Chains A and B, each alone.
Chain A
Amino acid sequence: MDLNLIMYLIPSLIMFGCGVYGFITRKNMIAILISLELMLNSVDINFVVFNRYLFPAQQEGMFFTLFAIAIAAAETAVAIAIIINVYRAAKNVDINQITKMKF
């Protein structure tokens, strides 16, 4: 069976949608972070697939993906450190409880 461009793009867009859905509905901050990772990874798939199928002569999308993975790793590290700090301060990572500052 031939795999074409659209067969990669649809799963990646579903992944992105799942990420957005999880970011909005989840209450646990770690789960929100996992949703964010889903979104970033689906973007990486997009870049690689576009590069492989549409512009195979060059490597720009691949290199962008490498950098995007590194940036995503740094983002996760910072976010987890901050979540641990929140847990120490509030003994909780439920975003319904982290609402001291409001309108």
Chain B
Amino acid sequence: MDYSQFLMMPQEIGLLVVFLLVFLYDTFMPSKSHKGLPLFATIVFGLFTIYSFLPVPDGSAFGDMFESNKATWAMKNILNIGMFIVLLQSIKWTNSDFVAIRRGEFFELMLLTLFGMYLMISGRHFLVFVIGLETASLPLATLVAFEKKYYESHEAAAKYVLTAVFSSAIMLLGLSFVYGITGTLYFNEIASSVQGNKSLLLIVALAFLISGVGYKLSFVPFHLWTADVYQGAPTMVTSYLSVISKGSAAFAFFVILVQVFGAAYAPVWEWMLYAVIVITITVGNLFAIRQRNLKRFLAFSSISQAGYIMLGVIAANAEGMASMMYYILVYIFSNLAAFGVIAVIERKTGKVTTDDYNGLFKTNPWLAFVMMLAMFSLGGIPPFAGFFSKFFIFMGACSTGSVAIYVLVFIALVNTIISLYYYLLVVKAMFIRQDECVIPAFKSHWSEKAGLWICSLGIILIGIVSCIYTGISNITNSDAMSTMFSMIQQ
């Protein structure tokens, strides 16, 4: 075996080194120094985040099972940034005595799920993809059950693990049909063998595959687990679930649909996705209006955001991919800011409903301000990054030029206006409404402050610093990616 192939995966190896360092610290350091583990893990992961910005070689390894190019490199860096913010914000929570004996496990499981997501992004064989998907979702089930003394956490974990296994069984059935028809599981070989002939069984398989991945992305017919799991899980795990796990699944979904089924089946899956996007955005928005618990509210908001992310997939060209990655980057900052504020307030006071936030601006002006930035960005109000990400994703979808997609973009646009209503309800509660029992003024921990600072800077700057979108766009328009998109135009 040619061991030099491992040089093709420097980011994966770097992540494994971080995992091993955290594991060794957890196992061999004296128990007195265990309070330092969260800080140690965050610093090591921060160094790894910087290291992984080093350019990686283009090409494939292990007989085309693993591919590394500029787009996977950029996507992994986007996920790293989000992961770093999540770890930073969870320092104080994991330092509490409540999680004392399981402190290391939290970080180890988080890093392992990130490794699974790397495999999902880079895998070009369905075996690697499935292993990555399971590595990403099984440790997350145990993380959802992390708050041992809190009953909702167990209920959420049971719901999550049962639906996750159900969805992966359905996806595996679809994969078995794909294997039966084509005789291979390599992405490029499937693509070349299905070219030109349409088989009904493969359309069934495609539907199973879309529903299997749709569970992870919480599209609407498959979204019923989302609100319960988001509410019951510890807030840090919820924020991780809502941005990072969703972002990686969206990228892998894009690659599968375009590279594997792009040539002959693009009209089939585009119409499936069309229907799914319309109901996902609409139902997510309508259900978000009536939620009073902020974590449930953000769960439905993230369902409708997943619909917007899919607008980039339905475009299925270089602009669509660039705008999807940009949308995920902006979504990471906005959603992590919102969850960061919720986590701080929940840790200090245990309050999570909208009514508890009445008059928050009077007592905690900075937290209220960050929450307002996050809500404006999620809603897409102009000077903030959320506006630009929505603008680019609509532009990407429109670049296909088909009338049906214009209608879809119009529906999405109307839904953006509906979503402003419920995002501004939170802002109204914080700034305008009054209450007798306001949340008292308190000081948050420095790590939480740092996390919220990074998120706020990201929300304000990413939209204005135009080189970020240009850079992503250059990557997806490069020659290496054009072979992937050239198939779909035939």
With an 8 A cutoff between CB atoms, is B138 at the interface?
Answer: yes
Contacting pair A100 B176 (CB below 8 A): no
Partner of B179 from the list A29, A32, A47, A75 (CB cut-off 8 Å) is A47
The binding surface of chain A is classed by DSSP as helix
Contacting pair A83 B158 (CB below 8 A): yes
The binding surface of chain B is classed by DSSP as helix
With an 8 A cutoff between CB atoms, is B352 at the interface?
Answer: no
Which A residue sits closest to B133, measured CB to CB?
A71
Partner of A16 from the list B151, B157, B173, B183 (CB cut-off 8 Å) is B173
Q: What A residues does B114 contact at CB under 8 A?
A: none
Q: How many A-B Cβ pairs are below 8 Å?
A: 113
- Closest Cβ of chain B to A73, distance in Å, is 11
Q: What B residues does A19 contact at CB under 8 A?
A: 169
Give the bracket for the number of chain A residues in contact with chain B: 35 or more
Bound Cα distance A85, B231 (Å)? 18
Q: Which chain A residues (46-84) contact chain B, with CB distance < 8 Å?
A: 46-47, 50-51, 54-55, 58, 60-61, 63-64, 67-68, 71, 74-75, 78-79, 81-83
Which B residue sits closest to A39, measured CB to CB?
B169
Mask for B30-49, Cβ within 8 A of A = 1, else 0? Answer: 00000000000000000000
Contacting pair A82 B166 (CB below 8 A): no
20 contacts between A and B (CB under 8 A): A29-B158, A29-B162, A36-B162, A36-B166, A40-B169, A43-B169, A46-B173, A50-B176, A50-B179, A50-B180, A61-B179, A74-B134, A75-B168, A82-B157, A82-B161, A89-B151, A89-B155, A90-B155, A101-B156, A101-B232
Interface residues of A (CB under 8 A from B): 16, 19, 23, 29, 32-33, 36, 39-40, 42-43, 46-47, 50-51, 54-55, 58, 60-61, 63-64, 67-68, 71, 74-75, 78-79, 81-83, 85-86, 89-90, 98, 100-101, 103
8 additional A-B residue pairs with CB within 8 Å, beyond A67-B131, A75-B161: A39-B170, A43-B175, A60-B183, A64-B175, A75-B138, A75-B168, A79-B141, A101-B155
